[in-house]
Amino acid sequence: MEKKHKRSICWLRRDLRVSDNAALYHATQDSEEVFLIFVFDKNILDKLPDSKDKRITFIWQCLEDINETISSLGSRMFTFYGTPTELIPQLVDDLGIEAIYFNRDYEPYAINRDKQVTESLRGKNIAVHSFKDMVIFEGAEVLKDDGSPYTVYTPYSKKWKSRFSSQNVECYVPNLKTLAKENKYPNCNPVILNDIGFKLEDIIFPGGEFQAKQKLHDFYDSIDSYHENRDFPFLNGTSGLSVHFRFGTISIREAIRFIYDKPMNRGREIWLNEIIWREFYQSILYHFPYVERESFKKEYKTLDWPGEMDHFHLWCRGETGYPIVDAAMRCLNSTGWMHNRLRMIAASFLVKDLLIDWRLGERYFAEKLLDYDLASNNGGWQWCASTGVDAQPYFRIFNPYLQSKKFDPEGEFIKKWCPELSGYNSKWIHTPHLATSLEMNFSQCVVGKDYPLPVVEHAKQKDLVLKLFRG
């Protein structure tokens, strides 16, 4: 059968895999030859303050992984550094390309970038094909009966589930034999990280499709008890797949096929719900792009947060005197990772105890998180700050001490990241400042000297934040 296009480009962005990839599948079906490309986007990289940004290492490893897979076919990934809106039209001219394929991304920057690239290519009579790939349902596919978007999770998830069928998780198997051979673009030198101002770093979740599949496989034994273990940071109770979902090293369809691999049970159902949270936040960002900068709830747009910058810096460094918060922040700073329960505790503490604008915390997480995703991060922060799409009103305030006792009862996680507190037993580990001086000396950590005193008093701050919200 004659193919539609002689030469095409498949542009990978946050879908860094070759298996079960919708755009790549269609590109290789429709074209005689497909150039697989990735652009290190200058617009994004220029905004990263840290040359040791772990996400760049992750991306790099993913590209290496793809290269390894396709090199046995004589092909390779073609990598570039620049601004996609300029670079891609140029590439299309240089290579005599007839069509471009990519998977859709719903962040405001990406939507605008893709719109510009599309307009410029259509002006040259180049076909542009975009596909749904990173979600099961896009923003416009799960709507209320009156056509408006959901703003509460539970009804959204019900509609999501009622729409779902096995057809939504069909596997897209690309024909990799059609990928352009290495020698088809000999003067395209692969991007070297040092040349673009970044360094390779050690990362706790290595990049690549193989690693993602391995992680999913490792989760096989844990998914059935996910509902029991997922809230305890010292347990390995969650999948650890968020970075792979973020960069598309695993297909979301594959993850859902994995859930339905065995009969549904509580663990599988709750894990599916988390994946639906991810789609819910994607949908919120798509329908209400202003949330990127402002509160979702209009009444809180102008809240004047009275918190102090000194406290913000203590929070960032993990020196607030609240062990669970400090352990969480030190873990983030060191690894680029934080457990979901801790994200909720740390975010709630910044906003409702330190009375600091959620946007500062959101930005800090955006800089540090390996799995940083605008929609989920913004959604999570606004949920914790009570400014977002939460059905609960502002007076849901986490008590950091109770959270700590409940979810890290023996202080195992705390001791890992705040080793100076290792001598405290489970009675005092959550509130070492309340221990007697005898106990402090016995524990070899005097609060106020070896570990900070609490920067604020939770009970007082609770009253202040309630007043702030009431106006």
Ligand X SMILES: Cc1cc2nc3c(=O)[nH]c(=O)nc-3n(C[C@H](O)[C@H](O)[C@H](O)COP(=O)(O)OP(=O)(O)OC[C@H]3O[C@@H](n4cnc5c(N)ncnc54)[C@H](O)[C@@H]3O)c2cc1C
Active site residues: 274, 277, 305, 340, 358, 381
Name which position in 286, 365, 413, 428 contacts ligand X (CB under 6 A): 365
Q: Which residues pair with 39 in a beta bridge?
A: 80
> What amino acid occupies position 11?
W
Please give the residues from 258 up to 287 whose contact with ligand X meets the rule CB under 6 A. 274-275, 277-278, 281
CB 299 → ligand X: shortest distance, Å?
Answer: 21
**d(Cα 175, Cα 27) in Å, to the nearest integer?**
9
CB 230 → ligand X: shortest distance, Å?
Answer: 5
Name which position in 20, 33, 133, 373 contacts ligand X (CB under 6 A): 373
Q: Going by DSSP bridges, is the β-strand pair 5-12/31-41 parallel, antiparallel, or unpaired?
A: parallel
Would you say 242 or 251 has its CB closer to ligand X?
A: 242
377 belongs to the binding site for ligand X (CB under 6 A): yes
CB 306 → ligand X: shortest distance, Å?
Answer: 21
13 belongs to the binding site for ligand X (CB under 6 A): no
Which tokens go with 341?
């329960």
Q: Residues 328, 322: contact at Cβ < 8 Å?
A: no
Q: Residues 17, 250: contact at Cβ < 8 Å?
A: yes
CB 378 → ligand X: shortest distance, Å?
Answer: 8
Return the closest-CA partner of residue 414 out of 291, 330, 292. 330
Would you say 300 or 451 has its CB closer to ligand X?
A: 300
**d(Cα 161, Cα 272) in Å, to the nearest integer?**
10
CB 372 → ligand X: shortest distance, Å?
Answer: 4
Name which position in 118, 120, 130, 340 contacts ligand X (CB under 6 A): 340
Q: How far is CA 230 from CA 220, 225, 235, 254, 329, in A?
A: 14, 8, 8, 21, 19
Name which position in 136, 284, 369, 418 contacts ligand X (CB under 6 A): 369
Q: How far is CA 299 from CA 285, 295, 377, 394, 461, in A?
A: 18, 8, 21, 12, 21
Coil/strand/helix, residue 284: helix
Which tokens go with 73?
């076919």
Name which position in 33, 53, 371, 390 contacts ligand X (CB under 6 A): 371
What's the chain's length in residues? Answer: 471
Which tokens go with 392?
């609960």
Q: Residues 407, 280: contact at Cβ < 8 Å?
A: no
Would you say 369 or 435 has its CB closer to ligand X?
A: 369
372 belongs to the binding site for ligand X (CB under 6 A): yes
Q: Is 82 buried (19+), middle (13-18) or exposed (0-12) by CB count in 10 A?
A: middle
In this structure, the number of other CB atoms found within 10 A of the CB of residue 317 comes to 13
CB 136 → ligand X: shortest distance, Å?
Answer: 12
Element (H, E) at 89: helix 84-95
Beta strands in 285-370 (DSSP E): none
Contact letters for ligand X, residues 215-254 (x by CB under 6 A): ---------------x-------xxxxx--xx--------
Q: Residues 340, 239: contact at Cβ < 8 Å?
A: no
Would you say 101 or 365 has its CB closer to ligand X?
A: 365
- State the number of binding residues for ligand X (CB under 6 A): 28
133 belongs to the binding site for ligand X (CB under 6 A): no
Name which position in 9, 88, 126, 384 contacts ligand X (CB under 6 A): 384
Would you say 88 or 135 has its CB closer to ligand X?
A: 135
Would you say 8 or 222 has its CB closer to ligand X?
A: 222
Contact letters for ligand X, residues 296-335 (x by CB under 6 A): ----------------------------------------
CB 63 → ligand X: shortest distance, Å?
Answer: 21
> Which parts of 107-204 fold into alpha helices (H)?
108-122, 153-163
CB 373 → ligand X: shortest distance, Å?
Answer: 4
Coil/strand/helix, residue 85: helix
Name which position in 79, 178, 376, 443 contacts ligand X (CB under 6 A): 376
CB 323 → ligand X: shortest distance, Å?
Answer: 19
**d(Cα 114, Cα 94) in Å, to the nearest integer?**
20
Closest residue to ligand X, judged by C-beta, is 380
380 belongs to the binding site for ligand X (CB under 6 A): yes
343 belongs to the binding site for ligand X (CB under 6 A): yes
**d(Cα 376, Cα 371) in Å, to the nearest integer?**
10
Residues that bind ligand X (CB under 6 A): 230, 238-242, 245-246, 274-275, 277-278, 281, 339-340, 343-344, 347, 365, 369, 371-373, 376-377, 380-381, 384
